[in-house]
Amino acid sequence: MTMQPIIEARGIVNRFGTQVVHDGLDLTVHAGEIFGIVGGSGSGKSVLLNTLLGLRRPQAGEVRIRGTDITQLDDAALRSLKTLYGVTFQAGALFSALTVIQNVQLPMLEHLRLSPRVLEELAMLKVRLVGLPPEAAYKYPSQLSGGMVKRAALARALALDPQLLLLDEPTSGLDPISAAAFDELLMGLQRELALTVVMITHDLDSIFRNCNRVGVIVDRKLVAGDLDTIVHHPHPWIQAYFQGDRARRFGAAHGA
């Protein structure tokens, strides 16, 4: 497939004062794949995500989303580009003063002109799509369980029918059953809606179950490859991550 990669980042440098988090980081994500990003605490996973989202301008490097370099865009163009992808944040980040359905409707109200009926029904469709019961739509985030918050966040990410999803630790804080259910949901949606998913995660289960390719942030750069390549990569940190005690149990279970 000679299609242009959906995300292409080259030579990203992220620096906070004297602390260099990323030094010449490259990243490529192809259309239709599920790409996992892994890294130690402090390796700058969230910083990388913010850079890809255009929330943070890197000190150097370029980030191309669908061919457009977002580091060179002005505010208006950047705002319009943001409708092309959906994001979930680590703690859910639902708007606490709005109900679930109002959360989903917010991007719609902001960027589309819809009749009230369409607004209500389309938002409800997204809520149902992520497996939430209809009653949950009218609840406030403080009334939801952790698993429901994550699903609601996903519904909001899908509000504008984006082709690209960026998820920051989508299963963190979920019990194994809920996490597995969320993985199933994500896999199903990715298939049905032909989505590209970039997922920051520590959840080895999610990685082995969902991801086509994995990128590991080590030594301020990204090492990427398909699951098999990465699991057998010689770098000591990657070895420790994927071949350590916990990982080996998973690896054995999944036949990796």
* Residue 9 near other proteins by CB under 8 A: no
Report if residue 157 touches other proteins, rule: CB under 8 A: no
Does position 134 interact with other proteins (CB under 8 A)? The reply is yes
Q: Which of 125, 176, 184, 249 binds other proteins (CB under 8 A)?
A: 125
Residues 6+ positions from 169 with CB-CB distance below 8 Å? 90, 200, 201, 202, 203
**Please, which residues bridge with residue 222 across strands?**
217
Residue 133 or residue 244: which is nearer to other proteins going by CB? 133
Q: Least distance (Å) from other proteins to the CB of residue 133? A: 6
Using CB under 8 A, which of 144, 152, 160, 223 touches other proteins? 160
Q: Which is nearer to other proteins, 37 or 195 (CB)?
A: 195
Nearer to other proteins (CB atom), residue 72 or residue 96: 96
Closer to other proteins by CB, 180 or 185: give it.
185
Exposed/middle/buried for residue 32 (C-beta within 10 Å: 0-12, 13-18, 19+):
middle
C-beta closer to other proteins: residue 80 or 229: 80
What residues from 176 to 205 belong to the interface with other proteins (CB under 8 A)?
A: 192-193
Q: Is there binding between residue 237 and other proteins (CB under 8 A)? A: no
What x/- string results for residues 80 through 99 when contact with other proteins is judged by CB under 8 A?
---x------------xx--
Which stretches of the chain bind other proteins, using CB under 8 A?
Answer: 83, 96-97, 108, 112-115, 118, 121-122, 125-126, 128-129, 133-135, 137-138, 140-142, 158, 160-161, 192-193
